[in-house]
Structure 1
């Protein structure tokens, strides 16, 4: 057993120096598919073992969010619950988000998403140089989630500030006191929850006129209001606290991950001019290209803390009851036992059943929206940026190994096409 080897590997993966390319380390980690760490936790890194655990009811999520202790100000979201509570809250939220109750909710947003993307690209500087994160990948999902929840247009800047602070609170900085970071995160969540509560209280007052761009026709029709008002559902509606915690989750989970998906997508395409050209010639491949991107450079690389409710035998290892388990999804996505030639980016591969959105009861709630956002964003960027090129490779990365993505992505281009 490569005991010490595996233990130090996980430490090296979490080290910021590995952020630009953790994949060779994942290759080493997979030699011990279920690997006990020096602190007694277990890292699981191979596809079939990960898939089994994601569907295993003996793995609990309940203690994970407790760890990010909020000073008890807000209870955990459904991401930190197990059935049956999890199923009730998630299915009530799902009613407003997708099939079978709102089957066209996401597709109906396509026009709005396209116009948001167009406006952001229109605003790129004439000088032919832009930081894609700050100018595009970051503002895009915030605007979308505001529209979705029903946040009035004029409140978006405040909302963006909260999003910034929340992202900072889950992204450790070297040499800082984690207690201060968690306290600031808790405070921001509380402010945001109070704001959202106020919004629900005002109800369908329609104050968000969307500055006449057609996006504010539903300030009283946002998901927030429909969730608060859903009396038809079994076990519904959500309590006010459940509603607010769910809305905060949608903002955080729906934001950072999409930023990374779009940024990693541009980085991947700019490194492969033939794939860039192909997407420009054949925009209809966007859905497959985004699926391969979710396999190749997943925004969520690791689910850091699940807990074993019982002894779990996986492969030839028994994970003892009470252990903390880290699921290294990004490693499973490059497992040669599951994917042919896993380190090649190939949108034509026949087997793109990736773990980019997790799997099982906690599989990504926002997946349909994230897919559509990334498809529209990448297709439009590729179509409109003439002779785009990376000005820094590798780019500087965020500190998080869990939500891995570039902090900036500076690109040059000759001009923005109409």
Structure 2
């Protein structure tokens, strides 16, 4: 079965597809379409999207040629619309290459779908973005009808929806914004995304799409909202609880503000669970050094002495008083943020991997996926130099990937206390 995720940029298609694939990983019933490209000797190390696309251009082209007899009318329709309406000459040829790649990967997915469920987050249906959104050319029902009639259809279509304000916020916060949105004002980004929303709403009512359609709504940036969308997809695809891993609790996180009682309550829970279970305790807020970060930590006091203005607390305090302009935050701060993300990932993954079955990992604090949160990515929401590679852009992307690799805890206790109590404890 082929399942394609569609929706606006920033709706969460890739994150949703990756989480559905993770839930199905134990049975090996689902793979991502990108795995069809990376599942070759020498390519499994690839993580950079541009490198993966280059590899996909080469690997998928023979499949595109073989499938042209079946998909040729759609390719000609797409190429003709791009010839007339692409916003630039570069875009015309780049989008055509994109069409070729997506049709080729679709052909690869169809061969693999006899044995596995293939989850596609950048599929042929999403080429509607290049055909109808990234230019100001008008389109009507006849254009959408023809697109829906000609495009290679997957078995199921997951339409990932999110509020426009959330889409705009995510698009602006992205460390690697799409070329078409980079450097644009918030109003311009909102106009472009509103056009995309109209497009996908229009596609969703086409008969060929509607009969395959499953809607997953992400209403906010909370973990609970994302989990609800994951369950909507799993149930809609027929998996439901059967697709979810067994509910054996392996990790419990205690989060909350300073002096809210996390350590005290964790001590009691550790003693109580320790009567009947093996328990491993970690502190994800202050992870230990790894072999890779040991030397930088040894040198850190010297750097603090040489560059006192780049101390972490001073940088954060300065950012609160005077938000940084595009790409102006210190590189030392960026390196420290990436080191912390790496150490947190290493601590949590290591604790889970080294814990035998039945062991429960208790974590004092836990990484958050929200940019700018106390235990979350610190770089992705900050301004970056537009339109060119930079060390800050690479470090922000690396930090974000490290946090995305950290699995969610099975249970989270969020502790709070009245302000006067926390002040008295401190």
TM-score bracket relative to the smaller structure: under 0.3
- Between the two structures, name the one with larger relative contact order (CA 8 Å, sep ≥ 6): 1
Q: TM-score under structure 1 normalisation?
A: 0.23
Q: TM-score under structure 2 normalisation?
A: 0.23
* Higher Cα Rg, which structure: 2
